[in-house]
Chain A
Amino acid sequence: MNKARTSIPRAAAAHAVLIVYTIIALFPVLIVVVNSFKSRGAIFRAPLSLPGPKTFDLIGYTTVMAQGNFPLYFWNSLVVTVVSIFLVLLFGAMAAFALAEYRFRANTMTGLYLALGIMIPIRLGTVAILRLMVASGLVDTLTALILVYTAQGIPLAVFILSEFMKQVSDDLKNAGRIDGLSEYRIFFRLVLPLVRPAMATVAVFTMIPIWNDLWFPLILAPSEATKTVTLGAQLFLGQFVTDWNAVLAALSLAILPVLVLYLIFSRQLIRGITSGAVK
């Protein structure tokens, strides 16, 4: 610590505020996870204590496993999220490359047209999207969700990726051209590998809202076979609202995978936000 610049009371105050807020942020999550391992009586009698040998109970988890179709919901969510991210990255990177690399007449206009989608939420077109999906027979398919999420993710992806692609050295691309590489090869072979870190950032940004979305699964794909885990959890929680063990267990099951993924990717996410890509 720098004596001349920082004072110990000030540092202590900063830590105090941050610790209090960290508790506020984590406490609700922890209390749910902790109580999901307890018997019903213990949940109400001593909600703040950790599960002991007497109070430990997995009844909630067995109920969830027995009742829900959760493995299927998980699979649906996974398919929708992974395919959407893949398409967002592929299409987004291609468009970003075109906007960053070439000078053509409609360049600025195309950029602005795509930027519109960052500010205007796709939800506002839901009525017509549903009609479109009904007309094309895509209601209650995962394809419908994938299409919507791809369209939703593209604007931000183009915006972030084109910023990064502008930084790829022109000399490198021109060296490729002199070596006789086609524009497609230059994109796939030279540029894409160089913007991989930015792609990872975009992937994380795209993933969270898709995985957590309730609106479109509810409207476009509510059937049992196409439910995502978010929608499934919502319905399950609604039905079992009085079975506290089951509700707490279901919530914990919903929290844990996201939390684990977050802890793995949080560096990427935070670096993405703080690198100034999103401004």
Chain B
Amino acid sequence: MRRPRGCRRIGLHAGNDALGSLTLENIRKSFGKVDVLKGIDLDVKDGEFVTFVGPSGCGKSTLLRVIAGLEDASGGSVRIDGEEVGSVPPAKRGIAMVFQSYALYPHLTVRDNMGLGLKQAGEPKKIIEERVRVATSMLSLGDYLDRRPAELSGGQRQRVAIGRAIVRKPKLFLFDEPLSNLDAALRVNTRLEIARLHRELTATMIYVTHDQVEAMTLADRIVVLNKGVVEQVGLPMELYNRPANLFVAGFIGSPQMNFIEGSRLGESAATIGIRPEHVSIGKESGTWKGKVLHAEHLGADTILYLDTEKAGFVTARLFGEHRFAADDVLYATPDPARIYRFGQDGRVLS
């Protein structure tokens, strides 16, 4: 599963096998009568970058917290590096977590925020200083060592939170929607930074997000969760090209895949799916005749919302600029090689 990565290993982990595998077996979690996780199985290899993605409330954060030990599973087992950690406290699991709200200690400086965990573990001062130095230089935080979190910008705070995770040299990095409190530009930068860190540290990372772009761009493998079950696990392009079911097909890709009732098109499948980017548009002829309801001109893309006679409501994504406007009558043609067929149960038909 692990994709070959032509990356060099850099300082921090040289000669240190801090890499960790993770195995989840039938993880269940219920809060009272509500089952949040309904039996999750997953294998994460050494050095892999795995993202958990899904709509809010799908259980992805809970799953991360179970792995961290902040939450007990109601059933199942968590193994890190082959070792069962069900009753091991978070600090002894060899994990480090980066929280959505950064969760920095507001009364401590950047230096102390990073060093506190090591200090508590009784590491010698010299080692703490050295590790903080390495981490801050990786994250270019050197100038801010003596500032308190309140004196830092959101992006800087997030980097401190990441630094605090790095100095612990964890087997497993856990990220809980770390970018959702940042503005759009910073989000892209920090995303690149996390990708770079993963290459440099070659550490195992688990990353929770509801943003499919983050998931697609960062991950070696993506785990799509919905209502407490794993819908599909796979490489980003696998999920895009070969979604296992309606949910994954609808969740991955933007704008969302068009779903058309099979009976309307005389197909035996219950639902027919076609991605907007696989619908071509003609002025004179095509498969489905329809009227433009609305056109969005984004420069690089033009997105058309069509009301077609045969297939109903269809979205089409055209590359580049096109001079279409509402009420134009056009023909939409799906790429036959890119049509997905789903059965009654929502599963894809092969």
Contacts and interface: CB of A to CB of B under 8 A. Distances in A.
Contacts of A2: 70-72
A5 B87 CA distance: 9
A6 to B, nearest CB: 10
Nearest to A1: B72
A87 B70 CA distance: 50
A4 interface: yes
A1 B72 CA distance: 8
Nearest to B69: A4
Contacts of B88: 4
Q: Which among A1, A2, A4, A5 has the greatest number of chain B C-beta atoms within 10 A?
A: A4
Q: Chain B interface residue count: which class?
A: under 10
Interface residues of A, number: 5
Nearest to B71: A2
A136 to B, nearest CB: 53
Interface of B (DSSP majority class): loop
B142 interface: no
B86 interface: yes
Contacts of B87: 3-4
Interface in A202-222: none
A5 B86 contact: no
Nearest to A5: B89
A1 B71 CA distance: 9
A4 to B, nearest CB: 4
B94 interface: no
Interface in A1-54: 1-5
Contacts of B69: 4-5
Nearest to A2: B72
B177 to A, nearest CB: 22
B55 interface: no
A4 B71 CA distance: 8
Contacts of A1: 72
Q: Which among B70, B71, B72 has the greatest number of chain A C-beta atoms within 10 A?
A: B72
A11 to B, nearest CB: 14
A7 to B, nearest CB: 9
Nearest to A3: B87
A5 B71 CA distance: 8
A3 B86 CA distance: 8
B75 interface: no
A270 to B, nearest CB: 24
A164 B118 CA distance: 42
A2 B88 CA distance: 11
A1 B90 CA distance: 15
A134 B60 CA distance: 72
B162 to A, nearest CB: 23
Contacts of B86: 3-4
A219 to B, nearest CB: 47
A87 to B, nearest CB: 41
A2 B71 CA distance: 6
Nearest to B93: A4
B62 to A, nearest CB: 13
Contacts of A5: 69-70, 89-90
Contacts of B89: 4-5
Interface of A: 1-5
Given A3-B87, A4-B70, 4 more contacts: A2-B70, A2-B72, A4-B89, A5-B70
15 contacts: A1-B72, A2-B70, A2-B71, A2-B72, A3-B72, A3-B86, A3-B87, A4-B69, A4-B70, A4-B72, A4-B88, A4-B89, A5-B69, A5-B89, A5-B90
* Top-6 shortest CB links A-B: A4-B69, A3-B87, A4-B89, A2-B72, A3-B72, A4-B87
